[in-house]
Structure 1
Amino acid sequence: MRGVSRASLDEVTRRLDALLPSANAATLGHELFEVVALLEQEHSLRRWLADQANAAESKSGLIGHLLESKVSPATVLVVSDIVQARWSNARDLVDAAERTAVYATAAAAEGDQRLGELEDDLFRFGRIVAAEPELRAALTAEGVAVEHKRTLVENLLSGKVDAATLCLVTEAVTRPRGRTLEQGLDHFGQLVAERAKRYVAVVRTAVPLSEAQQTRLEAVLTRVYGRAIHLNIEIAPEVVGGLSIRVGDEVIDGTVAGRIAEVRRRLAG
């Protein structure tokens, strides 16, 4: 988001942070995801709420009427804050609602100091899905009922991960919002890292890194980027040697495979 939407998101997030200590974070996150689904489904409602020509009070009043008997007061307050803010377009409004849903869901884990584990759980599940074509096909098949996919996720993960992980994985599977499953899991992981005020570095290496190597790499990347770094390690024999590191959109490729590919590109040019 940029411009007016960025400023509105910052204000909405600030108000959410003030509300979270007195709210049931897990319930708030679940209900906000339901609001996201409603806004995705109701195109006219979404456009009307994002239209800056409509009065903020009218938007808040409509949301109160639609949600008051269906969700907690905390959810009504958060959604009212969102719709009263100014957004560059309807998509930014829905993205803001989704972001608050992820933040609220993560807040339950944050209270238990589990944000790092939550990031790891999302990353690991994404890699499991990528390595299991049949599982991925079952989770992403078109025309399959949402409840069937939700049950499948619960059967896979119930008792193995906490409620926050289960919620975010279920959302990525059942309501992808135009993303692939891997993109959805990665997006949620990035938002969790954002809540922890750190960056995620996806490290691809041919062999596992020792704890000492991981600690040194974290320290180096923290100095480079000026913020704490959470490492997600992916073992990829095809890189041959060295490391490929992705932080956001930036890739540092020090692998043998990367150097060979660069030589080939130069020769071809």
Structure 2
Amino acid sequence: MINKTIARRYAQAIFAIAQEKNLTEEYARDLKKVIQLIEGNEDLKILFYGRFVPSEAKKEAVSKIIADELDPMVANFIYLLLDKSRENYLTGIAEVFNELVAEKNRIMPAQVRTAIPLTKNQVQSLEKKLSQITGRNIQAEIQVEPSLIGGMSVRIGDTVYDGSIFKQLSLLKEHLQQNSVGKIGVRQ
């Protein structure tokens, strides 16, 4: 497991630089671009994460393949990670960096599970309503799960709003199992 403390330290450092230069979104895109390129190419992945590959060879590969497409500060940051043998933390650093950007922009992700796909207008309406409830800018991540039967379930941080039919049926079943037949008004 990657040590989140180390990833957080590096992410906070590059985030501070990004904020100073007012380039947080650009740096986030660049970090994502680097990760996608590395993860999408098995040879590059082996080279970049290889323990026995010298950091100079890794830096040369990065400079030839993607350094021209990155902000120079992000490229230097990648080189620093390679010099310090911290390349395995890159994904964790990018995740923490994105969390810091979201926090700065008061954006909070919401995991939304629905029984059927939502239209773009429905998603926008849902995000607007959830933003009003939470006081934060909500960015919904939609996942379609037909097993919900109907309705939806929304998770924002540690809070879950579950209005799915599956959940309602589960609650009804639990209620019926806990109470004897006589207690719920049915004659025996």
Both structures adopt the same fold (TM-score exceeding 0.5) = yes
Residue 61 of structure 2 aligns to a residue whose secondary structure is helix
- 2:39 maps to 40
Is the 8 Å Cα contact of residues 35 and 91 (structure 2) preserved in structure 1? yes
Q: 1:237 to 1:100 in 2, by over 3 A?
A: same
**Structure whose residues are more often strand by fraction:** 2
- 2:74 maps to 75
- Map 1:55-70 onto structure 2 (within 5 A): 55-70=54-69
Deviations 1:201-255 (A, max 9, x none): 959xxxxxxxxxxxxxxxxxxxxxxxxx73132223433489xxxxxxxxxxxx5
Is the aligned partner of 1:234 residue 2:166? no
Q: 1:259 to 1:47 in 2, by over 3 A?
A: farther
1:131 to 86, 91, 115: 115
Q: 1:258 to 1:58 in 2, by over 3 A?
A: farther
Residue 132 of structure 1 aligns to a residue whose secondary structure is coil
* C-alpha distance in structure 2 between counterparts of 1:50 and 1:105, whole Å: 22
* C-alpha distance in structure 1 between counterparts of 2:73 and 2:176, whole Å: 55
Deviations 1:26-65 (A, max 9, x none): 1111111111221122110101111111122332343233
Q: 1:239 to 1:230 in 2, by over 3 A?
A: closer
Q: 1:234 to 1:97 in 2, by over 3 A?
A: farther
Structure having greater relative contact order (Cα 8 Å, sep ≥ 6): 2
Give the deviation of 1:11 after TM superposition.
Answer: 2.2
Give the deviation of 1:108 after TM superposition.
Answer: 2.8
Is the 8 Å Cα contact of residues 7 and 90 (structure 2) preserved in structure 1? no
Unaligned runs of 5+ in 1: 136-151, 174-180, 183-200, 204-228, 243-254, 262-269
Q: 1:238 to 1:68 in 2, by over 3 A?
A: closer
Deviations 1:9-29 (A, max 9, x none): 532331220121221211111
Is the 8 Å Cα contact of residues 36 and 98 (structure 1) preserved in structure 2? yes
Residue 69 of structure 2 aligns to a residue whose secondary structure is coil
* C-alpha distance in structure 2 between counterparts of 1:259 and 1:53, whole Å: 60
Give the deviation of 1:71 after TM superposition.
Answer: 0.8
Unaligned runs of 5+ in 2: 132-136, 145-153, 178-188
Is the aligned partner of 1:10 residue 2:9? no
**Identity fraction in percent:** 13
Is the 8 Å Cα contact of residues 28 and 72 (structure 1) preserved in structure 2? yes
Q: How many residues matched?
A: 155
Q: 1:235 to 1:165 in 2, by over 3 A?
A: closer
Q: In the alignment, residue 37 of structure 1 is paired with which amino acid? A: Q
* C-alpha distance in structure 2 between counterparts of 1:102 and 1:14, whole Å: 12
Residue 232 of structure 1 aligns to a residue whose secondary structure is strand
Q: In the alignment, residue 132 of structure 1 is paired with which amino acid? A: I
**Aligned-residue CA RMSD (Å):** 4.3
Q: 1:132 to 1:99 in 2, by over 3 A?
A: farther
TM-score, scaled relative to structure 2: 0.59
Residue 69 of structure 1 aligns to a residue whose secondary structure is helix
* C-alpha distance in structure 1 between counterparts of 2:81 and 2:46, whole Å: 13
* C-alpha distance in structure 1 between counterparts of 2:11 and 2:91, whole Å: 13
Is the 8 Å Cα contact of residues 33 and 101 (structure 1) preserved in structure 2? yes
Give the deviation of 1:258 after TM superposition.
Answer: 6.0
Deviations 1:156-211 (A, max 9, x none): 75xx779x977x95xxx9xxxxxxx57xxxxxxxxxxxxxxxxxx959xxxxxxxx
- Map 1:192-207 onto structure 2 (within 5 A): 202=155
